Amino acid sequence: MNTQSYSAPIYIAAPNAPTQQVAVWDCHNQGWTDPNLTQQWAAVPIPSYAQPADGTDSEMSIYQPSTDTLWEFWQMQQVGTGWQACWGGKMTDVSKNPGIWTAPYGGSATGLPYSAGQITVDELQSGVIDHVIGIALVDTENWDKFSWPADRSDGYNPNGIANRIQEGQRFRIDPTINIDALNLNPIAAMVAKAGQKYGFVVWDKAGAISLRFENSKSLTLLGQPDPYVALFNGVPNYSILYGIPWNSLQFLPVNYGEPG
C-alpha cells in the first residue's frame, strides 16, 4: 500500500491562487516535447508548499474546485523557482468527466486519473470506501492490448505469454465471501468490501502489486499530523492488507461496462 511513495499527493488550489507555467521536459530523451501539453500547463495554481510524491515517478496532482479543473504531473520536479514535468495533463469539467483522460494525456499508464482510484484518508476515517479502486500489477498484457476504461497501456509481454491481464481490466473479490468473518485489519476489511462491491481496475504497472492511498504529504505539508499514525495504530503498513482473499478474485470480461 503506497502512502507516500508512488502515490500522487492531491493539492487543493484556492479560487484566486496565483498560477505559473509548468515546463515540459524530455525525460525520455526523444528530442521533442508536446506543444499541446505545454499549453495545458500554461497557468497552473501550484501551492507554494507543494511537493511531488517520493519515488522515481514523482507524481503530483492539483485540483481547483472553483474552476473544476485537475492537473496531473508525472516526473514532476522543481527547478529553481519553477516547475517541470515529463508528462500528465489538464482536465476541465472534472465533475462531468467519465474519469478517463483524453489520450495520450494523464499521469498513469492507462489514462485513468490518479485521484479517482486512490483511497482517501476521509474514507478510511469514515469506515467506507465507496468507489472502484485502482490497482497496479507486476505483469500485464502487452501495450497494444488493453481494456476499457483504459485508453492506452505500458504492458510488456514480448514472449506472448497466455492469459496475461490487460491494463484497464476490472476484477472483484468473490461477493459470496463473508468479509466480516475473516478477522481482517479494519482497513483491509474496507478494501475487501469495496473490492466486492465496486471492484479493482488495473490502471498501471509496478514493481509490486500495489494500491495507492492518499499521500500523507497533502496533509503534513499543511502542518497537519500524519493520519496514518492513528489509522495504522502501530501495525506496519506492509501487513495492513494481510488476509484479503486475493485468491478469490474474479476477472470480468475485457471492455466490461464500455458504453455503446
Nearest to 44 by CA among 79, 77, 17: 17
Residue 9, pLDDT score: 96
Residue 28, pLDDT score: 87
Nearest to 70 by CA among 133, 112, 120, 109: 112
Residue 260, pLDDT score: 83
For 110, counting Cβ atoms within 10 Å of its Cβ (0-12 exposed, 13-18 middle, 19+ buried), the class is buried
pLDDT tens for the chain, 260 residues long, are 999 999 999 999 999 999 999 999 999 888 999 999 999 999 999 999 999 999 999 999 999 999 999 999 999 999 988 999 999 999 999 999 999 999 999 999 999 999 999 999 999 999 999 999 999 999 999 999 999 999 999 999 999 999 999 999 999 999 999 999 999 999 999 999 999 999 999 999 998 899 999 999 999 999 999 999 999 999 999 999 999 999 999 999 999 999 98
Residue 81, pLDDT score: 86
Q: How far is CA 10 from the centre of its chain?
A: 10
Residue 70, pLDDT score: 98
Residue 124, pLDDT score: 97
Nearest to 134 by CA among 214, 244, 253: 214
Per-residue pLDDT tens over the stretch 146-173: 999 999 999 999 999 999 999 999 999 9
